[in-house]
Amino acid sequence: MNKLTSVTSQLHTIADYCRYGATLFNQAELFYGHGSENAFNDAYILVMYALSLPNDVDDSLMTCRLIESEKQNVLALFTRRIEEQIPVAYITNVAYFAQLPFYVDERVLIPRSPIGELIENQFFPYIAANKAPKRILDLCTGSGCIAIACASYFDDVEVDAVDLSIDALNVAQINIENHGLSEHVIPIQSDIFSGVEEQRYDLIVSNPPYVDQQDIDSLPQEYLHEPEMGLGCGDDGLDIVRVILAQSAQHLNDGGLLFCEVGNSEVHVKALYSEVPFTWLNFERGGHGVFMLTKAQLVEFSAVFTAALNENIPVPLEDARV
């Protein structure tokens, strides 16, 4: 009796396979950081995917028994997760952001930004209910999740979704069509602002590449499946953020706002722009490293932002991480 037959003869229900998968994943010391929080969540998602069931089935279904072919399909997915150390979202081609489903593959990062929570709350308290933005720019859109979520949570809004990667824009187009938002979200190839030079917006939202070289060098295997250009961005991770800070003001309408995620590179931002009063956001569901600036602040400190862009001198890692 081979190992597979032995396992399937001892495990019977959906709950059995969720538990068993979690045990396997814990033993393999896998990493979780792409929308799933732990080994059991990963196993549960893969079991439901193998059975063509939604992720929110009634608990009573957990005691349902699997037929032999279903058991083998589940175990094949477990094997792939362990041997390839591939994030679950790339196996199922589905990730959730702002409570919305998105198609993803290895052409784009897996959506996981805390900005999703901000969008669900319609950027309250930073944007009043009677001041809803009419035009939004999503810089470095990737899968299009931020742009599409903005268009889903605000009525009659126009969103430009820009990215340098044609591969990413092709995925974004899939998601735009899946959500029926072709008239509201426009994908544009652009090197940051190059493709929208004459455009002005009420809101600029960006989750750009921001991982510094030290973190890039220590990424778990799971992250190596993601496109490198979506993660790293110079020694201090701020090569694109410098441009965003220096040029956003000219693309914002009066009263406009910039929201930008920098993750762990928050330490570099604070060190490089020590005199700038960034508003750093807190999130109920976790996450950090997202700041907000008004257009007025971007104009007020434009000399600081321009100098940092022109000098482009990375903050020494040993200084920034103190």
Q: Do 82 and 226 belong together in one domain?
A: no
Residues 6+ apart with CB under 8 A from 155: 132
Domain boundary among 92, 108, 138: 92
Q: Do 39 and 180 belong together in one domain?
A: no
Instruction: Find tokens 């187009």 and name the residue.
Output: 173
Q: Do 249 and 172 belong together in one domain?
A: yes
Q: Which of 229 and 256 is assigned the larger pLDDT?
A: 256
CATH number at residue 165: 3.40.50.150
> 8: domain range?
3-92
Q: To the nearest whole percent, how much of the chain has pLDDT over 90?
A: 79
Distances in Å between the alpha carbon of 21 and those of 78, 139, 148? 6, 38, 33
Amino acid at residue number 141: T
Domain boundary among 49, 77, 92: 92
Which two tokens mark 12?
A: 């019977």
Q: Do 88 and 33 belong together in one domain?
A: yes
Q: What is the pLDDT of residue 195?
A: 96
Q: Which of 1 and 24 is assigned the larger pLDDT?
A: 24
Rounded Cα distance, 197 and 87, in Å: 36
Among candidates 126, 132, 166, which has minimal Cα distance to 151? 132
Residues 6+ apart with CB under 8 A from 198: none
Distances in Å between the alpha carbon of 183 and those of 138, 173, 287? 16, 12, 32
Q: What is the pLDDT of residue 75?
A: 97
- DSSP one-letter string for 169-186: HHHHHHHHHHTT-TTTEE
Q: Do 154 and 278 belong together in one domain?
A: yes
Looking at the structure of the chain, the number of domains it has is 2
Q: What is the CA radius of gyration of the chain?
A: 22
Q: To the nearest whole percent, how much of the chain has pLDDT over 70?
A: 95
Q: What is the pLDDT of residue 217?
A: 84
- DSSP one-letter string for 3-58: HHHHHHHH--BHHHHHHHHHHHHHHHT----SS--SHHHHHHHHHHHHTT--TT--
| pTM more than 0.75 | yes
Confidence class of residue 4 from pLDDT cuts 50, 70 and 90? low
State mean pLDDT over 250-258: 97
Confidence class of residue 3 from pLDDT cuts 50, 70 and 90? low
CATH number at residue 43: 1.10.8
Q: Do 284 and 217 belong together in one domain?
A: yes
Domain boundary among 59, 92, 125: 92
Rounded Cα distance, 20 and 26, in Å: 10
Could you read off the pLDDT of 284-322 as tens digits, one per residue?
998 899 999 999 999 999 999 999 999 874 444 443 332
Determine how β-strand 201-206 pairs with β-strand 135-139.
Answer: parallel
Q: Do 271 and 286 belong together in one domain?
A: yes
Could you read off the pLDDT of 145-195 as tens digits, one per residue?
999 999 999 999 999 999 999 999 999 999 999 999 999 999 999 999 999
Q: Do 156 and 251 belong together in one domain?
A: yes
Determine how β-strand 252-261 pairs with β-strand 290-294.
Answer: antiparallel
Residue 168, H or E segment: helix 166-178
Q: Do 142 and 33 belong together in one domain?
A: no
Q: Do 115 and 190 belong together in one domain?
A: yes
Rounded Cα distance, 32 and 43, in Å: 12
Q: What is the pLDDT of residue 236?
A: 87
Q: Do 315 and 275 belong together in one domain?
A: yes
Could you read off the pLDDT of 14-60 as tens digits, one per residue?
999 999 999 999 999 999 988 888 999 999 999 999 999 998 888 89
Average pLDDT, the chain: 92
Beta bridge partners of 162: 139, 188
* Helix/strand/coil for 291: strand
Q: Do 124 and 235 belong together in one domain?
A: yes
Give yes or no for residue 272 having a pLDDT over 60: yes
Q: What is the pLDDT of residue 159?
A: 98
